[in-house]
Amino acid sequence: MNYKLLIPNLLSSLRLFLAIIFPFVPENWWIWLILGAGFSDFLDGQLARRWQVQTWQGGLLDAVADKMFVLSALLSFVLVGRFAPWWLPLVLARDLTVGGIAGYAAIAHDWEAFHKMDARWSGKIATTAQFFLFIIVTLVPAGIHSMVSVTGACSVIAAVDYWLLFHQELTTRKIIPK
């Protein structure tokens, strides 16, 4: 077995596990789960690139783990009253857009267009901003409003970036008219 292929996927799987347990652990543990999830997100990609074991399936596992952790943390914050529910669409704009694109690809049976949507710099910045937001929510609640604005802006920029990439792919393949 190729451990170099296994380790990045185990790190992504760890993030899935952290997403599952997040709502059930005491609030004073949240910061450690956030730091662990953020570290595993950084490390799995770094190792996969360094060892040249990047796969589409591994990238998908990484993306799903990210989305699950983000949703778990945000919903937990909302449920305990640390985060306003009306902030969710702004903070999740990129995730909602990519989810909509995946839904379209599934309905249209056009996974090739979705398959070509590699990670983008804008998405990495949006994910980083989300993790910083989680740290602020957990440790410095007075800074939430400012960080929601920054995270929301990053998420909207990433949403537009992913939408333009997908639209370009469809246009290039002449699935939609120019």
Residue spans of the domains in the chain: they are 1-82, 83-178
What is the C-alpha separation between 59 and 47, in angstroms, rounded?
A: 12
Residue with tokens 């909302």: 78
Provide the pLDDT confidence category of residue 118 given band limits of 50, 70 and 90.
confident
- Please give the pLDDT value at position 176: 58
Q: How far is C-alpha 18 from the geometric centre of its chain's CA atoms?
A: 14
Mean pLDDT of the chain: 91
- Please give the pLDDT value at position 49: 87
CA proximity to 85, closest of 77, 95, 93, 97 = 77
- Please give the pLDDT value at position 102: 87
Question: pTM of this prediction?
Answer: 0.90
pLDDT (tens digit, 9 = 90+) per residue, 7-24?
999 999 999 999 999 999
